[in-house]
Structure formats: structure tokens, C-alpha cells
Amino acid sequence: MKRKNKRKKLNLKKILIMIIFIVMILCIYKAIDFFIKQTGIIEASSQVEEILRVVEKNKHASVSRYIVYGTHLNLEGNMQIAGDNQIKKAEVVAKDVSGEEIAIDSEYTYEDNLLSFSTLKEINTGLNLENLNVIDYYLLLKVEFANNETKYYSLSNDTEYGNIEYYTLTRNNTNNKININFGTLENIPVFRLNITTVKELPEDVYDVVVDPGHGGNDSGAISGKYIESDIVLDCAKRLKTGLEAIGLKVLLTRDGTESEEDYTTYNIYDEDGRVTMANESHAKILISLHMNSNEEYISEGGIEVYAAPNSDLTLAKLLADNIVEVANTQYSQNESDKELEGVYVRTIELDEYINNRNSSSNNYHGIFDSIPYLYIIREIGGIATGAYVDGSNSNYSANKYRNSNVGVEGYLIELGYINVREDLNHVLRNKELYVKGIVNSINTFYEIEQK
Ligand SMILES: [Zn+2]
């Protein structure tokens, strides 16, 4: 019995040692794994493996245009493909190096052996850059053939554009930096997104631009002693404070210190003008605040939110609904250019734009057949919104960002009608609530605080 006990003890000891040994091995393995992930030592080779495993080696598609507008990336391009293969479906996907893929809503045509594809149906949907994991992604063209074969083609850059540095909106004091770039992987051209986390935005990078309409010698609409430029400036300052309270970095295009002689109507494209400021802010969103006037049949006033054509109107509708609810105001009765209750899309059609041009040169970007009428929405969006002010009208400087493939997503909000007394009074008494409606919308739509 004694001996048996001793043997049992010995066995227990052995088992214990073995357990400790296994735990140690596991710890060492975990530590090495953690070290590798932190330093990215084998990242490059595993990327090569995963992406090279799926893409065609001898054929790639060509990107003819890629655009970051607001928080979304979109592209279009084409590829020659032999006619004996029936195509069932073609779409652009973002494949990460772990093998997961995100499908991007795509349209395609296939004619004369040429497959053309585009994700640009709407400029503010597509690949949402705010929702990506901190991992590398590759953009690929995924083609499903009639024989149920699926092939992935890498993408090469056949545009005039280079790399884009994108910073996600600030959430919990952190941002992701996304380097959108073209490169090669073992001689195969690739279009990829390298994502890292940063602790602070660079000094010149903002989340949101708040634009109080008019200013300087441009008072905007006037009703008695009430001046549009002053009312919207007050609201804009409150909006900046409200957005900063949820952690966003905000740029005001003017703060009231501009001189009375400042010709803000015509200097908008100058070096320190609001269009240049917005374009240089790297911001994702711009909110321009205005007061409406002059619609004679409007007797009750109300809110109007203007958005870009060819865009998803979810945020515009959220803005209109939240302002109506929180500020206890109403949707405007104005029917022209109305898309939804409180939401408006005002455009210049292509022929109208061409007829109105002062110069014979036609620099229209040709993406869409309608262009935003409101310059603040159009000229901060670059090619996505058909920005075209090129200096040929001598009243204005050229918008030097008109050909940019990076654009700020703009919304113009008419808070109320300055010439409708009750509506004006309601705005004047409830500025803080109008602002709260806007802040709530941005907070909800972009998941600023809940992520
Ligand atoms: Zn105005």
C-alpha cells in the first residue's frame, strides 16, 4: 500500500510537471504570436500567400477612376476577357489578408469582349472606409462564369491619381489611417488598403467642416433687423461645440472675425476662401448652415436639407427628421427639387451647365449627367460632384481642387424662413435644439459614440 501511494504521488508529480510544461509551451507560443502580430514580421509573407492563392497570375483588370467621397471608396474600370466564357456576375470585392471579403455593390456590362465595371452608381455608398478592420485589404474584381468557375483579378492603376491617405472619423479619441495605394505583389499589380491605428489626427486633418453661410460684406437674406449671416454664425459656433462634445474635430469656415469688407461672395475659391478651406481640411463631412427666404407662397416656413444628386439620402433624411423632432419645427412646404419630406436635391443638368459656361473648354468630369446646383456641395466634392469652377469666369478664382478624386460630402441646411415671422422666431428661440438635431444625426449615422 505504501509503495502504491508513493507511485501515485510520483505519477501526480509527473502529470503536474507535464501540465506546467504544456502551459509554458502555450505561453511561449502565444508570446511569439503576439510579437509577430505586433511587429508585422511575417505579415508580408502571409499576405503574399493569401492574395496570391486567389488571384489570377497572368491577367488583371484596369482601374480607370477611383474616388473617395465622404466616407466611401468607389471605382470603375475594365478588362478584356475572351468571348467563349459566359459571365454570370462581376463585382468588386475588398478581400482582407485573412481571406474574408466584402462585396461592393457593382454594375457591369460585357460587350465586344470588354468587361466594364463600376461601383459608382451612388457617390456616397460603396466601400465604407469607416467599418474596416485594422488589417490589409486588396481590391479585386470577382467574376463568376457560367460554368460556375469563380476568378479573382487584381487591379492596376490606369488613372492620373496617386495614393490617398484617409483618416477615419474620430471615435473614442482614436482614428484609423488608411493608405489607399497601388503596388505590386510578386510582379502582380495590386490595389490595396493598408490600415493602422493612430492616436491623434495630424494638425491639418479634420472630421467635420461647419460652414456658416455668407459673411463679410455678404449678409445673405435680411428681414428687418435680422441678418442671415449673423444667425447662422451663432448656430455654427454652437454646432462646432456640440460636435466637439462627441469627440469630433471641427473646422469653421468663418468665425465672425472676417472684416466687413471681406468679399465672401466672390473669394470663396481664393487661398483662404471657404471652398479651399473645406477641400484642404481632409474632412469627411461638411454642414453648411443657411436661412431661407423669398418663396412667396411659403407661409409657414420649415426645414430644408440639400444633398448631392446620385447619392444615398439616408443621412439627409435623418438630419431633416431629427431637426423636425428635436427642435419641434416642420418640413418645408417648398415642393421644388423635393425628394423626400425635408430633403432636397437641386441640380444643373449637363446641357444647362454647358450652355452656361463662359469658356469653350469643357472640363466636365462626365461621371454623372446631373451636377449639384449649390456650389458648396458641388465644389468641395471634386470629380464625384462634377466640380467645375476653373477660373474662366473672371469673378472667381479657379477651384484648384476641382479635379480631385477626394471629396468632402456636403449638406446644406436651410434652418427656416427668415421672412416668415413665426418660423424666424422659432429658430431664434431654439438654436440649441436645431443644433442638437444635427449633432444627434451625425452621432447616430456615423456611430461616433456607440462604437
Ligand atoms: Zn443663405
How crowded is residue 174: how many other Cβ atoms within 10 Å of its Cβ? 13
The Å distance, Cα 356 to ligand 1 centre, comes to: 22
Query: What's phi and psi for 383, nearest 5 deg?
Result: -70, -25
The Å distance, Cα 378 to ligand 1 centre, comes to: 16
Coil, strand or helix at 328 = coil
Residue 276 has pLDDT above 90, yes or no: yes
Residues 96 and 184 in one domain: yes
Q: Is 291 domain-assigned? A: yes
Residues 179 and 266 in one domain: no
User: What type of residue sits at position 357?
Assistant: R
The Å distance, Cα 302 to ligand 1 centre, comes to: 15
Q: Which of 198, 225, 243 represents a domain boundary (last residue)? A: 198
Q: Which of 144, 177, 198 represents a domain boundary (last residue)? A: 198
Q: Is 13 domain-assigned? A: no
Contact between 261 and 385 (Cβ < 8 Å) = no
The Å distance, Cα 241 to ligand 1 centre, comes to: 22
The Å distance, Cα 368 to ligand 1 centre, comes to: 26
Residues 161 and 216 in one domain: no
Summarize pLDDT for 20-48 with one digit per residue, the tens.
Answer: 888 888 877 777 666 555 544 445 566 66
The Å distance, Cα 228 to ligand 1 centre, comes to: 7
Residues 182 and 310 in one domain: no
The Å distance, Cα 398 to ligand 1 centre, comes to: 22
The Å distance, Cα 376 to ligand 1 centre, comes to: 11
Q: Which of 180, 198, 216 represents a domain boundary (last residue)? A: 198
Mean pLDDT of 359-386: 81
Query: What's phi and psi for 258, nearest 5 deg?
Result: -65, 150
The Å distance, Cα 212 to ligand 1 centre, comes to: 9
Q: Is 161 domain-assigned? A: yes
Find, among 377, 345, 351, the residue nearest to 364 by Cα. 351
What residues form DSSP beta bridges with 111?
A: 114
Residue 378 is inside which H or E element, if any? helix 375-379
Residues 128 and 213 in one domain: no
Q: Mean pLDDT lowest for which of 21-30, 325-334, 403-412, 414-423?
A: 21-30
Find, among 67, 116, 279, 248, the residue nearest to 171 by Cα. 248
The Å distance, Cα 367 to ligand 1 centre, comes to: 28
The Å distance, Cα 420 to ligand 1 centre, comes to: 15
The Å distance, Cα 292 to ligand 1 centre, comes to: 6
Angle between helices 431-445 and 421-429 (to 10 degrees): 70
Q: Is 7 domain-assigned? A: no
Strands 175-185 and 164-167: antiparallel
Summarize pLDDT for 305-322 with one digit per residue, the tens.
Answer: 999 999 999 999 999 999
Coil, strand or helix at 36 = helix
Cα gap 12→60, rounded to integer Å:
62
What residues form DSSP beta bridges with 137?
A: 96, 193
Coil, strand or helix at 101 = strand
Cα gap 362→124, rounded to integer Å:
25
Residue 144 has pLDDT above 90, yes or no: yes
Residues 344 and 435 in one domain: yes
The Å distance, Cα 414 to ligand 1 centre, comes to: 8
Find, among 406, 309, 378, the residue nearest to 389 by Cα. 378
The Å distance, Cα 372 to ligand 1 centre, comes to: 16
Residue 350 has pLDDT above 60, yes or no: yes
Query: What's phi and psi for 245, nearest 5 deg?
Result: -65, -25
Total structural domains in the chain? 2
Q: Is 215 domain-assigned? A: yes
Residues 220 and 355 in one domain: yes
The Å distance, Cα 273 to ligand 1 centre, comes to: 16
Summarize pLDDT for 71-89 with one digit per residue, the tens.
Answer: 999 999 999 998 777 899 9
H-type alpha helices, 130-273: 228-245
The Å distance, Cα 217 to ligand 1 centre, comes to: 13
Q: Is 38 domain-assigned? A: no
Q: Is 8 domain-assigned? A: no
Contact between 225 and 240 (Cβ < 8 Å) = no
Cα gap 350→29, rounded to integer Å:
63
Residues 248 and 174 in one domain: no
The pLDDT score that the predictor gives to residue 439 is 98
Cα gap 446→442, rounded to integer Å:
6
Q: What is the mean pLDDT of the chain?
A: 90
Strands 285-292 and 208-212: parallel
Residues 315 and 409 in one domain: yes
The Å distance, Cα 265 to ligand 1 centre, comes to: 11
Q: Is 17 domain-assigned? A: no
Residues 140 and 236 in one domain: no
Residue 330 has pLDDT above 90, yes or no: yes
Residues 215 and 331 in one domain: yes
Contact between 228 and 219 (Cβ < 8 Å) = yes
The pLDDT score that the predictor gives to residue 26 is 83
The pLDDT score that the predictor gives to residue 42 is 46
Mean pLDDT of 399-414: 97
Mean pLDDT of 372-389: 93
Query: What's phi and psi for 215, nearest 5 deg?
Result: 115, 170
The Å distance, Cα 192 to ligand 1 centre, comes to: 41
CATH of the domain at 384: 3.40.630.40
Residue 62 has pLDDT above 90, yes or no: yes
Cα gap 38→28, rounded to integer Å:
15
The Å distance, Cα 288 to ligand 1 centre, comes to: 9
Percent of the chain at pLDDT exceeding 70: 89
Residues 81 and 172 in one domain: yes
The Å distance, Cα 305 to ligand 1 centre, comes to: 12
- Write out the three cell numbers for 255: 468665425
The Å distance, Cα 213 to ligand 1 centre, comes to: 5
The pLDDT score that the predictor gives to residue 156 is 97
Cα gap 112→229, rounded to integer Å:
56
Range of the domain at 145: 45-198
The pLDDT score that the predictor gives to residue 184 is 92
The pLDDT score that the predictor gives to residue 255 is 92
Radius of gyration of the chain from its Cα atoms, rounded to whole angstroms: 27
CATH of the domain at 165: 2.60.40
Q: Mean pLDDT lowest for which of 56-70, 204-218, 390-404?
A: 390-404
- Write out the three cell numbers for 13: 508529480
The Å distance, Cα 318 to ligand 1 centre, comes to: 21
Residue 388 has pLDDT above 50, yes or no: yes
The pLDDT score that the predictor gives to residue 355 is 67
How many H-runs (helices) and E-runs (strands) does the chain carry?
A: 9, 24
Cα gap 110→144, rounded to integer Å:
13
The Å distance, Cα 169 to ligand 1 centre, comes to: 28
The Å distance, Cα 413 to ligand 1 centre, comes to: 9
pTM over 0.85: yes
The Å distance, Cα 151 to ligand 1 centre, comes to: 52
The side-by-side arrangement of strands in the sheet containing 250-252 is 250-252, 208-212, 285-292, 409-417, 304-306, 343-344, 338-340
Q: In terms of pLDDT, which residue wins out, 401 or 16? A: 401
Residue 343 has pLDDT above 80, yes or no: yes
The pLDDT score that the predictor gives to residue 46 is 65
The Å distance, Cα 427 to ligand 1 centre, comes to: 15
The Å distance, Cα 434 to ligand 1 centre, comes to: 16
Residue 5 has pLDDT above 70, yes or no: no
H-type alpha helices, 40-148: 43-54
The pLDDT score that the predictor gives to residue 285 is 98
Q: How far is CA 90 from each of CA 52, 172, 311, rounded to the nearest angstrom?
A: 20, 38, 22
The Å distance, Cα 310 to ligand 1 centre, comes to: 23
The pLDDT score that the predictor gives to residue 117 is 98
User: Residues near 58 by Cβ (< 8 Å), separated by ≥ 6?
Assistant: none
Summarize pLDDT for 164-214 with one digit per residue, the tens.
Answer: 999 999 999 999 999 999 999 888 999 999 999 999 999 999 999 999 999
Coil, strand or helix at 340 = strand
User: What type of residue sits at position 14?
Assistant: K
The Å distance, Cα 215 to ligand 1 centre, comes to: 10
What residues form DSSP beta bridges with 412?
A: 288, 306
Residue 233 has pLDDT above 90, yes or no: yes
The Å distance, Cα 133 to ligand 1 centre, comes to: 40
How crowded is residue 387: how many other Cβ atoms within 10 Å of its Cβ? 27
